[in-house]
Structure 1
Amino acid sequence: MGRGSTAAAAAGPVPAARHHGNRHGRSEQARQAVLEAADDLLVEKGFTGVTIEGIAARAGVAKQTVYRWWKTKTDVLLDAFLQDAAEALTPPDHGDLAQDLRAHLRQLALFLTRSDAGAVFKALIGHAQHDPAFAAALRSGYLDAQRRRDRLPLERAVERGQLAAGLDMAAEIDLLVGPVYHRVLVTAEPVDQAFTDRLVEAFLHRAGEMGNR
């Protein structure tokens, strides 16, 4: 997940570097330990089993430190997920639209179905159904940002002249990634490479890009 181990984070380098929560700056090591601990506990215990106290104990920081940075456990989990998503779900740039889309959709499917972050995402989506304020935060924090990342292969293709500038990108992104989320969150059907590749083929057919693969 791109973070250091919780044990190393809890140990810390030297006492002078361990600012676990002064108001002038966060200890990045402690912050990463908290995010890692939140992810790990959710996978081990489920959403209801995660507590601020448990996160603090696992991360090796004081409970007051966690509360100074985040108000609730869902805030911690959301920050952990947003960091993971930004790291894992930025599409590659191979200079080829079909290759970029195939790689991106495969990575999205793996991220949502096989990573700890995917488990966090499903828990957050579930919580959002009962908390409108959190649902808005999830939408603005993840969904809006991820849609901008999802557009990158299409925008690059427009710049290269592979796609028409007038393409309805919002609609096409829905058709590309929407079925992945639907299977992950609704039907629980497999989201394998064959499935994501078919989504790309359908897009290329619609966009008239079959000859540029």
Structure 2
Amino acid sequence: MLEAAMGELQERGYAALTMQGIAARAGVGKQTVYRWWPSKAEVVLEAMAGLVEAAVAVPDEGSLGADLDVFLAPTFRQRGQRAALVGLMAEALLEPGFAARFRERFLLVRREVFRSILDRAAARGEVAPDADPELLTDLVYGVLWYRLMLEHAPLDEELGHRLSRLVVREAADPS
């Protein structure tokens, strides 16, 4: 059913996604979908969380810059995920209960990996003691979400590489 939900989402967009459409594409009754998930947002969240779990790896390339390049390239290579991500963020803004689940199951997973990369770099001496890891994390994900939402500028691997370099410079010398 998760594949059916993602297929419907790609074809119709988040606003037009329905539990009935998911059920029809999966070849099951609508009640079957509701038995597992209370809303389309929950179906999409589970599908996206599964993708993140499969794709999130903690690279260990030996330097902060190399680790960030390996980690951020796939993060910024948004291949067909925009509709799902923007839809989930919209739901999170409207529904506080869903926002908490979205944060826990999706957003914090990536942030924790990013933070572990910074922590390992700090242990190697690549991060200044007065660097602010939360600000560095917000810098990366703020740019990602802003560009996802507004589509005003490219969201691609090159942006991931540019942000890697920016984070490395700021982490080494935040003053």
> Would you say how many aligned residue pairs link Structure 1 and Structure 2?
173
- Structure 1: any 5+ residue segments left out of the alignment? 1-33
TM norm structure 2 = 0.84
CA, structure 1 residues 43+140, in 2 after alignment: closer, same or farther (shift >3 Å)? same
1:75 aligns with 2:75: no
What is the correspondence of 1:142-161 to structure 2 with a 5 Å cutoff? 142-161=106-125
- Report the CA distance between 1:77 and its aligned residue: 0.9
- Report the CA distance between 1:164 and its aligned residue: 4.3
List structure 1 runs of 4+ shifted beyond 4 angstroms: none
Correspondence for 2:148 among 178, 181, 184: 184
Matched with 2:23 is 56
Checking the alignment, whether the CA contact within 8 Å between 2:77 and 2:157 is kept in structure 1 is: no
Letter in 1 for 2:140: L
Matched with 1:10 is none
Letter in 2 for 1:99: A
Correspondence for 1:126 among 63, 72, 90: 90
Name the structure, 1 or 2, with higher relative contact order (CA <8 Å, separation 6+).
Answer: 2
Correspondence for 2:5 among 31, 38, 44: 38
CA displacement 1:146-196 (0-9 Å, x = unmatched):
211221211222233433466421111112332222222135311233332
CA, structure 1 residues 139+91, in 2 after alignment: closer, same or farther (shift >3 Å)? same
CA distance in structure 1 between the aligned counterparts of 2:32 and 2:97, rounded to whole angstroms:
24
CA distance in structure 2 between the aligned counterparts of 1:50 and 1:185, rounded to whole angstroms:
18
1:139 aligns with 2:103: yes
Letter in 1 for 2:88: L
If you compute each CA radius of gyration, which structure gives the higher value, 1 or 2? 1
- Report the CA distance between 1:41 and its aligned residue: 0.2
- Structure 2: any 5+ residue segments left out of the alignment? none
Equivalent position SS for 2:77? helix
Letter in 1 for 2:98: F
What fraction of aligned residue pairs are identical, expressed as a percent?
37
Letter in 2 for 1:156: R
Checking the alignment, whether the CA contact within 8 Å between 2:44 and 2:84 is kept in structure 1 is: yes
CA displacement 1:26-78 (0-9 Å, x = unmatched):
xxxxxxxx111101101111223322222122123333322221111111111
Equivalent position SS for 1:49? coil
Checking the alignment, whether the CA contact within 8 Å between 1:105 and 1:177 is kept in structure 2 is: no
Letter in 2 for 1:193: E
